[in-house]
Chains A and B, each alone.
Chain A
Amino acid sequence: MRAFLLRRVGSLVVALFVASIAVFLLVRAVPGDPARLLLKNPTPDRIAAIHQRLALDRPLPVQYWIWLKNALGHGSFGESIVTGRDVKEDLARTWPATIELSLVALLIATAAGVWLGIFCARHAGTWKDALGTTISLVGLSVPVFWLGLLAMLLFSLELGWLPAGERGGLDHLILPALVLATIPAAFVARVARTAVLETLGQDFIRTARAKGATEQMVLYHHALRAALVPIVTMVGVEFAYLLGGAVLTETVFAWPGIGRYIATAVLARDYPAIQGALLVLVAMVMLANFAVDIAHHALDPKLRQ
Chain B
Amino acid sequence: MKRRNSLLWVGSAMLIVVILAAALASAISPHGPTEQIYRDFALASPSWTHWVGVDGVGRDVLTRLLYGARATLGIALGATAIAILIGTMLGAAAGVLGGWFDAAISHATDFLLAFPSILLGLVALTILSPSPTSVAIAVGIASLPTVVRQVRAAFVSENAKDYVLAARATGAGRWRIAALEILPNCAGLILVLTTLTLGSAVLEAAGLAFLGLTGQPDVPEWGMMLREERSTFRIAPWLCIAPGLAITWTVLSFNLISDGLRQRWR
The residues of A with any CB-CB pair to B shorter than 8 Å are: 15, 18-19, 26, 29-30, 130, 137-138, 140-147, 149-150, 153, 157, 236, 240-245, 247-248, 251, 262-263, 266-267, 269, 271, 274, 278, 281-282, 285-286, 289
Contacts and interface: CB of A to CB of B under 8 A. Distances in A.
A141 B116 contact: no
A243 B247 contact: no
B234 A157 contact: yes
A90 to B, nearest CB: 17
Nearest to A248: B207
Contact of B248 (A15, A19, A146, A149): A146
Given A143-B247, A240-B115, A149 B256 contact: no
18 contacts: A15-B111, A29-B127, A141-B255, A142-B248, A143-B206, A143-B207, A143-B223, A144-B207, A146-B244, A146-B248, A153-B233, A240-B116, A245-B116, A247-B207, A251-B210, A263-B211, A266-B213, A267-B212
B24 interface: no
Contacts of A137: 252, 255-256, 259
A149 B226 contact: yes
A289 B114 contact: yes
Contacts of A146: 226, 240, 243-244, 247-248
Interface in B99-137: 111, 113-119, 122-123, 125-127
Main DSSP-derived SS at the A contact region: helix
B119 A247 contact: yes
A145 B225 CA distance: 12
Centre residue among B117, B126, B223, B255 by max chain A CB count within 10 A: B126
Interface string B211-255: 111000000000100100010011001001101100110011001
B3 interface: yes
Nearest to A246: B116
Interface residues of B, number: 39
B230 A267 contact: no
Contacts of B140: none
Contacts of B78: none
Centre residue among A30, A242, A247, A278 by max chain B CB count within 10 A: A247
Contact of A138 (B119, B127, B241, B248): B248
Nearest to A262: B122
Contacts of B207: 143-145, 247-248
B199 interface: yes
A24 B8 CA distance: 45
Main DSSP-derived SS at the B contact region: helix
B27 to A, nearest CB: 28
Interface in B185-226: 199, 203, 206-207, 210-213, 223, 226
Contact of B115 (A138, A242, A285): A285
B146 to A, nearest CB: 11
Nearest to A237: B113
The 10 closest A-B pairs by CB, nearest first: A244-B116, A146-B244, A141-B251, A141-B252, A244-B118, A240-B116, A263-B211, A243-B116, A266-B122, A145-B210
A243 B223 CA distance: 20
Contact of A282 (B115, B244, B247, B248): B115
A243 B111 CA distance: 16
A150 B123 CA distance: 28
Contact of B123 (A26, A141, A144): A26
Contact of A149 (B127, B211, B212, B244): B244
Nearest to A140: B255
Contacts of B255: 137, 140-141
Contacts of B123: 26, 278
A41 to B, nearest CB: 21
Given A138-B252, A285-B114, A269 B126 contact: yes
Given A143-B203, A145-B223, A267-B212, 18 more contacts: A19-B111, A26-B126, A30-B126, A137-B255, A138-B248, A141-B252, A143-B206, A146-B240, A150-B244, A153-B234, A157-B234, A241-B116, A244-B116, A244-B118, A266-B122, A266-B125, A269-B126, A281-B116
Given A149-B240, A240-B115, A278-B119, A248 B210 contact: yes
